[in-house]
Amino acid sequence: MGEPADAPAALRHAEEVMGTVFSFDVRGGRPGAVREALAGAVAGLHRADALFSTYREDSEVSRLARGELTVARCASEVAEVLELAAEAERVSEGWFSARYQGGLDPTGIVKGWAAERAARLLAAVDGVCGVSVNGGGDVQMLGAPEPRRAWRVGVADPLRPGGLAAVISAAGADELSVATSGTAERGAHIVDPRTGRPAVTDLVSVTVVGPRLTWVDCWATAAFAMGSRAGLAWLESLPGVEALLITAGDEVRCTGGLAERLG
């Protein structure tokens, strides 16, 4: 089946970068202008990888960690991301951190920040009515794909491979993002910043919903490390944020307003 007759033109693209796949879905706008903006958005992702990858010895973050550079001599994006990471550490009371055990690793914030930035670049193109950028399962949505239809994102069930735990709708929201942290995809990859070791938690996944992917990606990571009880209480305290938490015992816990986003 094709697009409905009144649907805006769609441009889709997938790009492998930062060790994952970023998927773009852009609706509306002049095709030439959208393609040009998409090229800029993709270039921005590769630039972020070159600046922030801890796997590249020549990245500015790696050189900064070794003391070969100062923040003042780094690209402006480095100072921006480190400031955002410091704010996330403050809000999470240390449960999210780009610095632990004397090291520097801002990659926990970079993917969400880069995806959100790419989405906003595309949304700024004249005539574009909707943008979705999915970076390895974490999604920034802006506008709507077509009239009377909202963006929707499926949340994988970590205990039932191939199944969905929920479907999140962006209905009524000009901007919405969804980020999940958990063990299902990559194992014990979330670090407790207090110890520098994998987080010991009763959770298998935390999905956070809010306007900006930069933040919800951090909040999902922090809440996962906190555990279900403390994580849920903390997420409830954040304005404009909803969440779905699933424990290893298959217990589902949700913030009070999540039901309004299901659909």
pLDDT digits (tens, 9 = 90+) for 87-111: 999 999 999 999 876 689 999 999 9
**CA–CA distance from 23 to each of 14, 20, 43 (Å)?**
4, 10, 14
Asked whether residue 5 carries a pLDDT value surpassing 80, the answer given is no
Do 208 and 220 form a contact (C-beta atoms < 8 A)?
yes
Q: What is the helix (H) or strand (E) element at residue 46, kind and residue range?
A: helix 31-52
Q: Which two tokens stand for residue 7?
A: 């649907």
pLDDT of residue 189: 63
Do 131 and 123 form a contact (C-beta atoms < 8 A)?
yes
Alpha carbons 111 and 119: distance in angstroms, whole number: 12
pLDDT of residue 8: 86
* Confidence class for position 67, pLDDT limits 50, 70, 90: very high
Asked whether residue 2 carries a pLDDT value surpassing 70, the answer given is no
pTM for the full predicted model: 0.93
Asked whether residue 4 carries a pLDDT value surpassing 70, the answer given is no
Asked whether residue 254 carries a pLDDT value surpassing 70, the answer given is yes
pLDDT of residue 3: 55
pLDDT of residue 135: 98
* Confidence class for position 21, pLDDT limits 50, 70, 90: very high
Least confident residue range of 2-16, 102-116, 213-227 = 2-16
How close are the terminal C-alpha atoms of the chain, in Å?
23
Asked whether residue 241 carries a pLDDT value surpassing 90, the answer given is yes
The pLDDT mean for the chain works out to: 93
pLDDT of residue 163: 96
* Confidence class for position 187, pLDDT limits 50, 70, 90: very low
* Confidence class for position 6, pLDDT limits 50, 70, 90: low
pLDDT of residue 263: 86
Classified by CATH at the fold level, domain 10-261 comes out as T-fold (3.10.520)
What ranges do the domains of the chain cover?
10-261
Q: Cα torsion for 160, 162, 165, 169, to the nearest 10°?
A: 180
